[in-house]
Structure 1
Amino acid sequence: MNSPFQRLHHICVVVADIDRAVEFYTSVGIGPWQDYPPLTQYTELDVPSRDGFLGLKYKYADVGGIQYQLVEPGDGDSPQQQFLDTHGEGVFHLGFVVDDLAEGTAAAAGLGVRPWMTGRRPDGSGFTYFDTRARAGVTIEIRQSPTS
């Protein structure tokens, strides 16, 4: 089976207060934490609310080769804010890395998984979230990392 969901890249947790979360995780030895690159790098967006997306605040740390992401919703409506309002803090999505987003998205479609949100940078890197919440209990995502 050709699945784009083979190489786990990150786990993303929605939090109400990212600074409080970073302080806790740092106190138990998880870190150092870095700011996620500016979301304005995504020049092509298909998300429920551009303002909601651009208001998200991300930080990440490497934990044993897997990126651990925290996301705090900002002003504006976003799926992350809706998740926080409905479920409280918790795992919003699992992110998998692919070499080519177009190929990965097509492979996911072949498995019956449909895109929910997408974002692309000018170099073609970016993300595709799939609407798997009802079937998997969590959203899954694929990402293509930026070229260096």
Structure 2
Amino acid sequence: MTGLLGNHFVTQIGILVNDVEKVSAAYAAFFGLEQPEIVVTDTAELAQTRYNGSKTEARAKLAFFDMGSLQLELIEPDHQPSTWRDYLNEHGEGPHHIAFVIEGMQEKIMLLEGKGFALQQKGEYTGGRYAYMDTFKELKVLVELLENDK
């Protein structure tokens, strides 16, 4: 059985934080790793970010730790409307999503929406695109779809 995504391998765990520099330093010290470079998401023109169906200027500071087969993503959102900001305000710091690499983004979004999981936020990044699906009620975390260009 392949499930809804055609893939059950978790690629990434996303964690929302108020201070990405401080928390990434703590992770680096805890695991004995180098502190990663903090990157900022693309501007709205490039990212084409949409949140709950509307354009948003939302950006975030990110830090990525490669932990073997799994990537840990720390996310410090700005104060523009986004899944990151609303989730952080509502739930506080902590897990936001588990991500899976998929193929056929539009088809997967439509499939999940048909199962009652609403598209919450989507956007582009260099080399691909992402979509957050609202699976919180059932899975207690959001699911992020990642589609990388070939």
CA distance in 1, matches of 2:67, 2:34: 8
- With over 3 angstroms needed to count, the CA separation of the structure-2 counterparts of 1:37 and 1:132, relative to structure 1, is same
Q: 1:95 Cα deviation (Å)?
A: 0.9
In the alignment of these two chains, the number of paired residues is 143
4+ runs of 1 displaced by more than 3 Å?
34-38, 109-112, 120-123
- With over 3 angstroms needed to count, the CA separation of the structure-2 counterparts of 1:31 and 1:101, relative to structure 1, is farther
Q: How does 1:77-116 map to 2 (within 5 A)?
A: 77-116=81-120
- With over 3 angstroms needed to count, the CA separation of the structure-2 counterparts of 1:73 and 1:38, relative to structure 1, is closer
What TM-score results when the alignment is normalised by the length of structure 1? 0.80
Q: What value does the CA root-mean-square deviation take over the aligned residues?
A: 2.5
Question: Is the 1:31–1:62 Cα contact (8 Å) retained in structure 2?
Answer: no
In structure 1, the residue matched to 2:15 is: 13
In structure 2, the residue matched to 1:57 is: 61
In structure 2, the residue matched to 1:145 is: 148
Secondary structure of 1:39's aligned partner: coil
Question: What 5-or-longer segments of structure 1 have no aligned partner?
Answer: none
Question: What 5-or-longer segments of structure 2 have no aligned partner?
Answer: none
What TM-score results when the alignment is normalised by the length of structure 2? 0.79
